[in-house]
Amino acid sequence: MNPLELTLGIMTAVGGFVDISELVFAARAGSTFGYALIWVFAFATIGIIIFAEMSGRVAAVAKQPVFNLMRHRLGLKLGLVTLAASVISNLITCAAEIGGVALILNYLTGAPYLLLAAGMTVLLIVSIWVLPFKWIERTYGLLGLFMIVFAVALVAIHPPWDQIALGLVPQVPSGLSTKELLTFGYFTVAILSAVMFPYEVYFYSSGGIEEGWTPKDLLTNRVTSIVGMGLGSLLAIAILASSAQLFGPANVDPEIPGSAALQAAIPFGKWGLILALLGMLFAVAGAAVETCLANAYSIAQYFGWMWGRRKKPWEAPRFTMSWIALFGLAFGIVLTGVDVMTLVEFAVLFSILVLPLTYLPLLLLAGDQKFMREHANGAVAKLLGWFYFGVITMAAVAALPLFFLTSGGNG
């Protein structure tokens, strides 16, 4: 295990953890329910760590990414349904990320939103075309570390640490009306979905293959997924806690990403705001790249095409055409004029609906001794995996009713 590579890998995972949905829901959760939803972030982070570790292990041991083996495990028809569901979910998420990037740039420059969305789509395509795979991962991941300003801002405003710690205990606040309880339920489901977006796992697994992981890299996989995603989640929790401290008492609902950035402006002024916006910009742009590439990976792997960003674009032509077309489609969705926050709502909603379908093959593969030999899921991984699968299935069933009953968390 190369310590420098490992550190960079962890830092990349931290910087790339937060995306537009987590930003929005962390800030809104804090302002609406104080510290009571921190445990959901912690709970969902353990879930994504479990599935990310499994996907990295499958990549390292079976030397095949998830979607290559998924079709074999689920069969052609169910595999096709899973692929379609995953592609639609990731496409909406990618559109939300592109819209989010354009919105943040709009705060920074004042230029027209749609023009910025078009410019950023082109820039993201060019960056994937030009940069080698590791640079793509690291450029966005490491620059996303500007987001640390949110954690520093939380320390600077001297929050009630005891209440934050109590927020880690699973709870439903007492004294809530039925309507508020439903909204609490909706936020719980939305945070679970935002943290456990399936694209993260597909991107991570395919990245492992691109980097040529072998069983020797299993420790790197475990450390990167646990530490990287664990620390990344702390940034989201910091946003929630700052929001609870600053926005909740003032009855401010930070619905748009710009409001979340104010958390750093309050203790650190203009430079805090700029750092927060830059961190958000790179983290969300990185998420746009990940969602789009994850989609192209899934399609190429399902049909057995050549794939990979380690190859030159012309060495995997159908894969290249796929990610460019997917960026075009995502931009097309933005171009329809749908509000970014509506896209975020849809991304989170659609993602939770398809989450069980996308995680089931991974769970089956990681437990399959034919492919995984002695590295197949042990008793603990099986227990945790199936437990989380049960939870996300229940969340998927509850998602639509909660969305309609609460008007998307707006009460």
Partner 1 sequence: MTPKGRIKLVSELLDLPLIDSEGKYCGIVDDVELTGRAGNSLKFRALLVGPGAWARRLPAWASWLVRITVGARVTRVPIDKIRTIGPAVRLKVPGRELGLHQSEDRAVRWIPRKGAL
Question: Which residues in this chain contact partner 1 in the complex, by CB under 8 A?
Answer: 62-64, 68-69, 71-72, 75-77, 79-80, 129-132, 135, 300-307, 312-314, 316-318, 320-321, 371
For the CB of residue 371, give the shortest distance to partner 1 in the complex, in Å. 5
Cβ-based nearer residue to partner 1, 58 or 402: 58
Cβ-based nearer residue to partner 1, 270 or 314: 314
Q: Is there a contact between 396 and 172 (Cβ–Cβ < 8 Å)? A: no
For the CB of residue 63, give the shortest distance to partner 1 in the complex, in Å. 7
Cβ-based nearer residue to partner 1, 214 or 410: 214
For the CB of residue 293, give the shortest distance to partner 1 in the complex, in Å. 15
For the CB of residue 76, give the shortest distance to partner 1 in the complex, in Å. 5
Q: Is there a contact between 269 and 72 (Cβ–Cβ < 8 Å)? A: no
The structure tokens 């829901």 sit at 25
Token reading at 320? 């290249």
Cβ-based nearer residue to partner 1, 304 or 337: 304
Cβ-based nearer residue to partner 1, 75 or 390: 75
Q: Is there a contact between 26 and 239 (Cβ–Cβ < 8 Å)? A: yes
For the CB of residue 130, give the shortest distance to partner 1 in the complex, in Å. 6
Cβ-based nearer residue to partner 1, 347 or 366: 366
For the CB of residue 64, give the shortest distance to partner 1 in the complex, in Å. 5
